[in-house]
Amino acid sequence: MSSIFTKIISGEIPSYKIAEDEKHYAFLDINPAAKGHTLCIPKREVDYFFDLKPNEIGELTKFSQKVARAIDRSLKPIRTGVIVEGMEVPHAHIHLIPIYKETQAFSLGKKVEVTEDGMRKLAQQIRQKVEL
């Protein structure tokens, strides 16, 4: 059975898309730890991040760097943090979480409320700054 994220890539499940290339897809996390929390995934469905081939980890990291730069340029956090966890969705992914103040809790356990309209606007802001 396909993962939720494979269904997002195919459009079967909707997402607030940020960027896409031949091998990767980026979209807003539906339950964000901070405004603009973005997930970067390989299109090839692999559960465990470290089961990706070394070149795939390299390519996903380069893609994530470009998306993080777009978050930095659009939302202007102090910096964008990175988490790889993968305990909930069995499809490798990199969390990009903007950090807006030094005291911000940096954890997947922390969630912020964002309306649908807010999510749409955040995705649009970030998308406009993506340079792949």
Segment lying near ligand 5GP (by CB under 6 A), choices 43-51, 85-93, 99-107, 122-130: 85-93
DSSP for residue 57: H
3-state SS string for 63-132: HHHHHHHHHHHHHCCCEEEEECCCCCCCCCCEEEEEECCCCCCCCCCCCCCCCHHHHHHHHHHHHHCCCC
State the DSSP H helix or E strand holding residue 61, giving kind and residue range, or none if neither: helix 54-75
Q: According to the binding rule CB under 6 A, does residue 30 interact with ligand 5GP?
A: yes
CB of 121: closest distance to ligand 5GP in angstroms? 16
Q: Indicate which single residue of 24, 29, 97, 122 sits in contact with ligand 5GP (rule: CB under 6 A).
A: 29
Q: Indicate which single residue of 76, 87, 101, 115 sits in contact with ligand 5GP (rule: CB under 6 A).
A: 87
Q: CA–CA separation, 22 vs 42, rounded Å?
A: 9
Q: Pick between residue 70 and residue 96 the one whose CB is nearest to ligand 5GP.
A: 96
Q: According to the binding rule CB under 6 A, does residue 38 interact with ligand 5GP?
A: no
Q: Indicate which single residue of 13, 78, 112, 132 sits in contact with ligand 5GP (rule: CB under 6 A).
A: 13
